[in-house]
Amino acid sequence: MRGGPGDAERRQRWGRLFEELDSNKDGRVDVHELRRGLARLGGGGPDRSSQQGISPEDTDPEGGLDLEEFSLYLQEREQRLLLMFHSLDRNQDGHIDALEIQQSFRALGISISLEQAEKILHSMDRDGTMTIDWQEWRDHFLLHSLENVEDVVYFWKHSTVLDIGECLTVPDEFSEQEKQTGMWWKQLVAGAVAGAVSRTGTAPLDRLKVFMQVHASKTNRLDILGGLRSMVREGGVHSLWRGNGINVLKIAPESAIKFMAYEQIKRAIRGQQETLRVQERFVAGSLAGATAQTIIYPMEVLKTRLTLRRTGQYKGLQDCARQILEQEGPRAFYRGYLPNVLGIIPYAGIDLAVYETLKNRWLQQYSHNSADPGILVLLACGTISSTCGQIASYPLALIRTRMQAQGEMEGTTQLSMLALLRHILSQEGVRGLYRGIAPNFMKVIPAVSISYVVYENMKQALGVTSR
């Protein structure tokens, strides 16, 4: 900051603010005083940046900041705010209007109406001009509220918490700060562990789904209880977890490949820009998902074969792979690949579209004071959108599973995707494309609940900081 009258005015203003926040008059401002002061000022508590500004490592053992430290913090804060102000002031006229706020949100993949942009503007506009100048911007954001508009994207990014058995969702966005601090890989690890525990907890329902997809028909009228009884009678209770080992094993390579592919595709689409628009996220996410599925698809085939195996049929994963290779050839490891890749498009597209619709509806109706919707809203939106994606792509998933299992079932003809689709429709009608969807629905809530609890505990164990 430059010296002179402006610098003196700033120091006087910071001094007055320091005195107002220093409630016990000990010459220092700590986190508790800041929180109480901001509540009086209407900020509702310190934001992430305020807490980072007076963290223990930046102060002495007594805690808090003295006037000089407080002034240095505010000086650095004002510099950041000035850069953000200029980035939002697109026509560089020294004022931010409602249209510029709407355009900024749109650039981050968030669609808000002009009316909603005006509401956001009104919360900062003190002189009634329906524009924000630098002073109004600085005074509003100096100590509280959002550090920048991208915090909205942080709260609403599609969380890796939700693992309902299918890994076809668009990958998460990680900020530059998360990449630099290493938080991104910790979040991926936490998500992978959460997915492993969740899949293990719901493995009986997943095996039942696969069992019904392949064996249920109009003639045998195989239902949920009948399927469970049949599996337990054939292999005992522990047989309900058949195929779970490789289902857990494939989480790590699939997540890693998808993340790396997504980052490369994102860079190709938008260069060095950090945030993609919704349509670009769909394209990048679908291509990344297809890349990951292409590489790990043999594991998908092995998972289906091991899930459907009879007692004593295979000695283990290696024996299963060896038998498929010897008896059916290497092409068998990509049986069902086409419907699997095609299934990514309706799954990722509808999942993302429903999530964005629910997110924008919440932002327009309830985001007057905070961009953070709370965990229950996030879990509900994520669960609904993922479930809608699964319903849309389920017929393709069923065809994929049946094609993967064709070599497993003696006396069955090797059918192509279209031939199998025609066969199912002619023999069982449209309902035949949704065999096994009931256990699939049954596992959604327990899978999401287990994922969230494990994810939060893993984040804590790995030291992942939340905003």
Q: Are 158 and 170 in contact (CB under 8 A)?
A: yes
Q: Which of 286-300, 312-326, 449-463 shows the lowest per-residue confidence on average (mean pLDDT)?
A: 449-463
Task: Give the pLDDT confidence of 314-348 residue by residue, as tens digits.
Answer: 999 999 999 999 999 999 999 999 999 999 888 88
More confident residue, 153 or 317: 317
Contact 207, 243 (CB under 8 A): yes
Measured distance CA(393)–CA(289) in Å, rounded: 14
Of 158, 187, 168, give the one whose Cα is nearest residue 359.
158
Token pair in block for residue 172:
């998460």
Q: Where are the beta strands (DSSP E) in 169-263?
A: none
Q: List the one residue out of 208, 210, 206 whose CA is nearest residue 227.
A: 208
Distances from the Cα of 330 to the Cα of 254, 324, 326, 327, angstroms: 21, 8, 8, 9
68 Cβ contact list (under 8 Å, min separation 6): none
* Tens-digit pLDDT profile for residues 257-286: 988 888 888 888 876 555 567 777 788 888
The encoded tokens of residue 329 equal 């050839």
Q: Which residue has the higher pLDDT, 261 or 154?
A: 261
Exposure string for 184-220, b = 16+ CB within 10 A, e = fewer: bebbbbbbbbbbbbbbebbbbbbbbbbbbbbbbeeee
Identify the pLDDT of residue 467.
44
In this structure, are residues 108 and 155 in contact, taking their beta carbons and an 8 Å threshold? no
User: How far, in Å, CA of 297 to CA of 407, rounded?
Assistant: 16
Q: Residue 133 pairs with which residues in a beta bridge?
A: 95
Confidence band for 158, pLDDT divided at 50, 70 and 90:
very low
User: What is the per-residue pLDDT across 33-65, written as a single tens digit (0 to 9) for each?
Assistant: 666 665 555 444 334 444 444 443 444 434 567
Dist. CA 72–CA 11, nearest whole Å? 10
Do 184 and 178 contact (CB within 8 A), yes or no?
A: yes
Q: Which residue has the higher pLDDT, 277 or 396?
A: 396
pTM of the model: 0.68
Tell me: the pLDDT tens digits for 228-247? 999 999 999 999 999 999 99
Which range (253-267, 300-314, 418-432) has the least confidence?
253-267
Cα–Cα distance measured from residue 109 to residue 346, given in angstroms and rounded to the nearest whole number: 20
pLDDT of 220: 84
The neighbour count for residue 224, using CB atoms within 10 Å, is 16
Predicted confidence band of residue 160 (pLDDT cuts 50, 70, 90) = very low
Sign of torsion, CA 220 237 383 299? negative
Q: Please report the pLDDT score of residue 293 as a whole number.
A: 92
Better-predicted residue by pLDDT, 248 or 60: 248
Q: Looking at residue 70, what is its pLDDT?
A: 72
Average pLDDT, the chain: 79
